[in-house]
Amino acid sequence: MILLDASFLVAFFDKRTRDDRLLKMSGMLEAASKAHTRVLIPTPALTEFLAKADRATIAYHEALGMSKAVQVAAFGERAALECAEMLGKAKSKADIKDQAATWAKAKFDWQIIAIAKAENATSIYSFDGDIVRLGARFGIEVLNVDKLSIPDSKVQRPLAGLSSPAPDQSP
């Protein structure tokens, strides 16, 4: 089971995202679907993503709901217990906030990691450095899609038997 952070969702739906990144992201999602791997979007990440979507909020929410492989994971009782245990291990409020820009973001990040732990996620896909640090702190692997290869199924190859024209050989 894998978990997608808000930064993944933003990049996936952003029309300005580089083609190579999109190929890696869609390839990873297709591989997860073929392997019947559950793909979770934690409710705090969904909130972060949809809050930035403006008028496209409903369309994005519907697009996410159309995939059978993608499920929303709520910050429920098990995640609350995980988060409470994690927060109990923190040394201070500064330790909880760590490098996050705001308290709200710090709280969302802790909830995302707690959901991952409660759901037994094997990894989180994120471009967020705060999630990377917090995941490492609590034993959750956080992967950056940019470090993946473009899947063979997504690589364009020249058609067999066709070659590029020979350069003009005239004197």
pLDDT 10s digits, 24-36: 998 998 889 899 9
pLDDT 10s digits, 7-25: 999 999 998 999 999 999 9
Write down the pLDDT at residue 43. 95
In angstroms, the Cα distances linking 3 to 106, 140, 141, 142, 164 are 18, 10, 10, 9, 43
* Structural domains for the chain: 2-147 (3.40.50.1010)
Write down the pLDDT at residue 170. 44
* Percent of the chain with pLDDT strictly greater than 70: 84
Q: What DSSP element (H or E) covers 15?
A: none
Write down the pLDDT at residue 100. 60
pLDDT 10s digits, 74-88: 999 999 999 999 888
8 Å CB contact between 121 and 112: no
pLDDT 10s digits, 116-167: 999 999 999 999 998 999 999 899 999 998 898 888 877 765 555 555 444 4
Residue 39: pLDDT band with limits 50, 70, 90: very high
Query: pTM of whole model > 0.85?
Result: no
